[in-house]
Amino acid sequence: MNNKQFEKMAFRVKLKRWLITILIVIVTVPVVLWIGYKFTQSLAGHQTQLLNNKMETIQEIAAPNIQISDQALDDTSVWGGKVVSHQYKEIDGYRIPWSTAVGQYNWSFNWIPNTSLIDTTQTAAYTRLTQQKIPLFYNNNVAKPNIKKAFELPAVAKMKGYVAEVAVTFKHPLTYQQIQARLPHNLRASWYWIGVSGKADPTIEQNHFLGIQSGLPEGKLTKLDYQYFQKSLKKVSDTTLDSYNNFSLSNYAHKYAKQHPTLKQAKFAGVILTGKSESFKAMRNRSWITESSVGATIKRVPYIKPTY
């Protein structure tokens, strides 16, 4: 075999190796990319589920008289995306727009941005997106809260032709049965607040009051409602609820669930009442109410009849 023949044979061997290598690359790279894509999407899917659960828990225990229309993925990409929940309030058959809740996720973690979507003054708080007034609760152990104490029941009672929600803070915590015995038939306790401990100031909690929504038209709670609520309190984590001035909402949720295992034993520090504005006349000058803060209100119209 002369040199030319050897060089040709060596070239054919090299060419064959190159072709095999190229073929391997052509086959392997898409497979690796596909596996990598599936793996990262699996990670993102896991974070999406965790974020969904977190937002649902907040809706269940820290959304005072706030309902949701949906909860869906938005602005998704290979790297992550958002979970968006459109919210509203229902007051005696009238729906009022509320701020949209948004969570974000990527391959490795998820979070709900602490963007402080609330505007405050010395006397009131408002949602930043819709500028609806937020009904506030107060801690009777705090003499000078961040937002001045409100006594707005008389003003609501003078309004004619409206439906309204009012957060009332009790002088002392009351049981469910005690609350029902004190309320007039034409007002509904739409949401029950479980309060705070020590000298925590609820007015700085960014509307993350802890409580349970009534799912019945009469504003009632069932044993099953409370059992589900208690389970949600127990499973809440520090990454779901924030702390404010060293007061941990998650720690308080766990403590409350342990101390109040049944609806009969539960005590509430306040409620959000809803109904026609004229119906609030019956709530004036009640000795068991300390503060009252108006939330959303809307003018009644002929084509929407109040529910109660």
Please indicate whether residue 9 or residue 255 has the higher confidence score (pLDDT).
Answer: 255
**Average pLDDT of the chain to the nearest whole number:** 89
- Measured between its terminal Cα atoms, the distance across the chain in Å is 105
Question: Amino acid identity, residue 188?
Answer: R
Sequence-distant (≥ 6) Cβ neighbours of residue 152 within 8 angstroms: 166, 292, 293, 294
- CA dist list (Å): 286 to 58, 153, 241, 281, 292: 32, 10, 33, 11, 11
pLDDT of residue 31: 64
Domains of the chain: which residue ranges? 118-299
Give the pLDDT score at 40: 63
Q: Where residue 72 falls among pLDDT bands split at 50, 70, 90?
A: confident
Cβ 187 vs Cβ 275: under 8 Å: yes
Contact 188, 163 (CB under 8 A): no
CA 32 to chain centre: 40
Averaged pLDDT for residues 117-144: 94
SS3 17: helix
- Among the residues of the chain, which ranges form H helices? 3-61, 153-158, 176-182, 223-235, 249-259
Strand order in the sheet with 110-111: 72-74, 80-85, 101-106, 110-111
Lowest mean pLDDT among 36-40, 123-127, 213-217, 237-241: 36-40
3-state secondary structure of 274: strand
Find out whether 165 and 39 touch, Cβ atoms under 8 Å.
Answer: no
User: Which stretch of DSSP H or E encloses residue 288?
Assistant: none
Question: Which pLDDT belongs to residue 154?
Answer: 95
User: What sign does the dihedral 94-100-105-109 (CA atoms) show?
Assistant: negative
Task: Give the per-residue pLDDT at 2.
Answer: 59
pLDDT tens digits for range 102-120: 999 888 888 887 655 789 9
Q: pTM of the full predicted structure?
A: 0.87
- The residue ranges of DSSP E strands in 195-288, in sequence order, are 211-213, 243-244, 247-248, 267-276
Q: For the segment 208-219, what is each residue's pLDDT rounded down to a tens digit?
A: 999 999 988 788
pLDDT bracket for residue 11 (50, 70, 90): low
